[in-house]
Every structure is written in structure tokens, then in C-alpha cells.
């Protein structure tokens, strides 16, 4: 019998736990269709970035301005037009949703509280199955306390939650003083899922040119451990589902996430590296592992290695970390698993 990979994530039924995350790969109707064709369980549309819309509005005004007042007869070449704001985004998301059968989740990153709510409602109106609030916050303000940052974000989530009916997920970075506390407070607002974690913008430095560079910020093999750790800590401790993100590149990585307690994983970097075929490769690996484990339903093992379910509670504790450091040489010399 074919192993059952179905999972429920933020109230949606997914044929398998692999979700293509918000990225360039999901920034068009064709991209969404491609994800479905490749076998993804769901897809998160590229984020509607308010700042990007603001920049586009600025650019459109500049484009019009740059060819105006040419001579006495030509005040300008274009009629007075207003940028449609998020309409272009909403337009293709609506089309994308209508064109596929798998669940489609919208994604939003706004600036003002009012925009978060307005845009969330507009995205809901496209017919998407859920909405992911993408708190892509890069620290840069010396005057703002962590508490203020958290309370701003909680206020946004509460305001959005009050206005929309579709399930809500929150995508966070790991850079909070105590992510568990913050996640727990968000959980109490009734969100249906956490996506852990966002990859923050990281510029690099070219030492030959002595300047900053902005390389494509892909995750690396092994990055999955952070998300697994938090999935393990949160399992049964919060009502919302957890979607693990960052560094999930193989079927075994997905299994690791499920064992930790996650309901699903998001993949992006691995698809950039290996194209969409990688989804089928990962699914085959999961099935193969399940067959080896004589397992028919993936849900059966969800959270098996979560903090609440493991005897060795120290695996999630700092002491274990100290131990690891002390044994580092020994571990490095042992053969790879």
C-alpha cells in the first residue's frame, strides 16, 4: 500500500507536507502551477511587500516626471495615472489560486498597521486558502526595545485576525529575546500556524573590491536543525501548527521536521539548486523511509521526538550544548551518519 503522506496544516488538508515557500519561484501564475505539477502539497505566494509597492509608485512617478515639460507643447506624455497599489499582485494571485487544486497561501509584509489589515483583506478576497504574515524585520533601530517590537507585531496580528476569516500563519525570525514566549503570546491570538524561521537579509563583503555584495541568500545543508529544535519545543505546547523552514533539502530532512512535531516544511533553496524535480525526489525518499520503517501514515510519527515525548529532556537543554562542545573533537572524528 502506498504510504500516506497527507498532513493537516493550518486547517488545510495537504497531500504531503512539502510546501513551496514564498519566493521568486512562487511569484507568478506559472510558478504556482509549476509547483503543483512538481507535486508540492501547497504553495505560499511570493510576499506582497508594501515597501516594494511604495518603491514602484515612486518609480512610476519618476518615469512620468522624467519625460515631462519637454517643450512648450509637451507638459508630459502620459495621462495622470495612479499606481494601482497591490492590485497587480492581487490580480495574479487570484488567477493563480483559480488555476491550481493544491492549497494556495498568500503572504504579506506590510509597513503600517493599517496596510497590514487592508492588504490582508484584499489578499483574502482573492480566494486564497490561508494567509502568512511575514514579519521580515531587520533590526536597525537603536531606540526601539524588544518589547516594543513584539507589541507592535502582536497588535498587527490581532488587528488582522479580527478582520479576516481564512486561517492565519505567522512567519517569524528567530531573533527575539525569547522566541518561545513571543510565539506563545501569538498563539493565544488564535493564529493557525507558525513558520519557523524567516531568513533575514544578509549582505556580504567582497574583500578584493572592498565593498558590500548582496549574494542570493540560500540556506545550507544542516540549517534545518534550528527549525526542528523549535518545532520540538513547541509541539503540544502551542495550539497552532508549526511549519519548519530553512535548510530542508531532502526527504530525510522532512522526516526530521515531522518527528520534531512540525506539520509541514517549506522549501525554496533546494528548488533553486536542483529545480522543481527535487520535490519528487524528496517525496520518494520519504516514502522509501516509511516503507523501511513499515509506516503507513506519516502523521503517526509527528512529534515523536518532540520535547514532550523524549525521555532525554537534556537534548533540548543548554547543558547538552555544553556537552557537545566538550565532545566536539570526538564527534568530528566519528564517521558521518
Are the C-beta atoms of 264 and 9 separated by less than 8 Å? yes
| Identified binder of other proteins from the candidate list 6, 13, 24, 65, rule CB under 8 A | 65
Going from the C-alpha of 60 to that of each of 49, 63, 115, 284, the distances in angstroms are: 17, 5, 20, 47
Name the one range near other proteins by CB under 8 A: 79-87, 207-215, 221-229, 290-298: 79-87
* C-alpha–C-alpha distance, residues 155 and 175, integer Å: 19
Residue 246 beta carbon to other proteins: minimum distance, rounded to whole angstroms? 27
> Would you say 84 or 250 has its CB closer to other proteins?
84
> Would you say 1 or 72 has its CB closer to other proteins?
72
Residue 69 beta carbon to other proteins: minimum distance, rounded to whole angstroms? 4
Near other proteins in 107-136, by CB under 8 A: 111
Q: Which residues pair with 20 in a beta bridge?
A: 43, 267
Q: What angle do CA 23, 149, 319 make, to 5 degrees?
A: 85
Residue 44 beta carbon to other proteins: minimum distance, rounded to whole angstroms? 21
CB atoms within 10 A of CB 66: 8
Is there binding between residue 79 and other proteins (CB under 8 A)? yes
Are the C-beta atoms of 48 and 89 separated by less than 8 Å? yes
| Identified binder of other proteins from the candidate list 6, 30, 67, 138, rule CB under 8 A | 67
Residue 280 beta carbon to other proteins: minimum distance, rounded to whole angstroms? 29
CB atoms within 10 A of CB 301: 14
Is there binding between residue 73 and other proteins (CB under 8 A)? yes
Buried b (16+ CB within 10 A) or exposed e, 213-249: eeeeeebeeebbebbbbbbbbbbeebebbbbbbbbbb
Sign of CA dihedral 187, 190, 193, 195: negative
Size of the site for other proteins (CB under 8 A): 36
For residues 235 to 264, the per-residue mask of contacts with other proteins, x marking binding by CB under 8 A and - elsewhere, is ------------------------------
* C-alpha–C-alpha distance, residues 227 and 260, integer Å: 9
| Identified binder of other proteins from the candidate list 87, 163, 239, 327, rule CB under 8 A | 87
Q: Which residues pair with 131 in a beta bridge?
A: 106, 168
* C-alpha–C-alpha distance, residues 193 and 184, integer Å: 12
* C-alpha–C-alpha distance, residues 298 and 285, integer Å: 13
Is there binding between residue 72 and other proteins (CB under 8 A)? yes
| Identified binder of other proteins from the candidate list 20, 44, 92, 263, rule CB under 8 A | 92
Near other proteins in 27-56, by CB under 8 A: 50-51, 54-56
Residue 67 beta carbon to other proteins: minimum distance, rounded to whole angstroms? 5
> Would you say 51 or 204 has its CB closer to other proteins?
51
| Identified binder of other proteins from the candidate list 76, 114, 139, 146, rule CB under 8 A | 76
Cell of 21: 515557500
DSSP element (H, E) containing 66: helix 50-66
Residue 63 beta carbon to other proteins: minimum distance, rounded to whole angstroms? 5
Q: Which residues bind other proteins (CB under 8 A)?
A: 50-51, 54-58, 60, 62-84, 87-88, 91-92, 111
Amino acid at each position: 500500500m502506498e504510504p500516506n503522506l497527507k498532513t493537516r496544516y493550518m486547517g488545510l488538508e495537504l497531500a504531503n507536507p512539502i510546501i513551496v515557500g514564498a519566493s521568486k519561484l512562487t511569484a507568478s501564475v506559472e510558478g504556482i502551477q509549476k509547483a503543483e505539477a512538481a507535486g508540492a502539497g501547497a504553495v505560499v505566494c511570493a510576499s506582497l511587500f508594501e515597501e516594494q509597492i511604495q518603491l514602484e509608485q515612486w518609480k512610476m512617478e519618476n518615469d512620468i516626471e522624467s519625460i515631462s515639460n519637454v517643450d512648450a507643447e509637451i507638459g508630459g506624455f502620459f495621462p495622470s495615472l495612479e499606481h494601482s497599489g497591490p492590485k497587480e499582485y492581487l490580480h495574479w494571485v487570484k488567477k493563480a489560486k483559480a488555476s491550481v487544486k493544491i492549497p494556495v497561501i498568500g503572504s504579506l509584509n506590510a509597513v503600517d498597521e493599517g496596510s497590514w489589515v487592508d492588504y490582508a483583506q484584499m489578499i483574502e478576497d482573492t480566494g486564497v486558502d490561508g494567509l502568512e504574515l511575514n514579519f521580515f524585520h531587520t533590526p536597525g533601530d537603536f531606540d526601539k526595545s524588544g518589547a516594543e517590537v513584539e507589541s507592535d507585531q502582536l497588535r498587527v496580528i490581532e488587528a488582522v485576525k479580527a478582520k479576516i476569516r481564512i486561517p492565519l500563519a505567522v512567519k517569524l525570525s528567530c531573533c527575539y529575546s525569547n522566541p518561545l514566549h513571543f510565539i506563545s503570546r501569538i498563539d493565544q491570538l488564535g493564529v493557525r500556524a507558525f513558520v519557523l524561521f524567516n531568513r533575514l537579509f544578509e549582505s556580504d563583503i567582497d574583500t578584493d573590491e572592498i565593498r558590500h555584495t548582496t549574494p542570493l541568500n540560500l540556506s545550507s545543508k544542516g540549517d534545518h536543525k534550528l527549525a526542528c529544535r523549535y518545532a520540538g519545543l513547541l509541539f503540544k505546547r502551542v495550539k497552532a501548527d508549526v511549519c519548519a523552514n530553512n535548510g530542508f533539502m531532502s526527504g530525510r530532512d522532512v522526516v526530521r521536521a515531522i518527528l520534531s512535531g512540525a506539520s509541514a516544511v517549506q522549501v525554496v533553496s533546494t528548488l533553486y539548486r536542483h529545480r522543481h524535480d527535487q520535490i519528487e525526489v524528496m517525496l520518494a525518499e520519504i516514502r522509501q523511509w516509511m516503507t523501511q520503517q513499515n509506516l503507513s501514515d506519516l502523521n503517526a510519527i509527528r512529534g515523536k521526538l518532540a520535547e514532550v515525548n523524549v525521555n532525554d529532556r537534556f537534548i533540548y537543554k543548554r547543558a547538552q550544548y555544553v556537552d557537545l562542545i566538550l565532545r566536539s573533537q570526538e564527534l568530528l572524528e566519528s564517521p558521518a551518519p
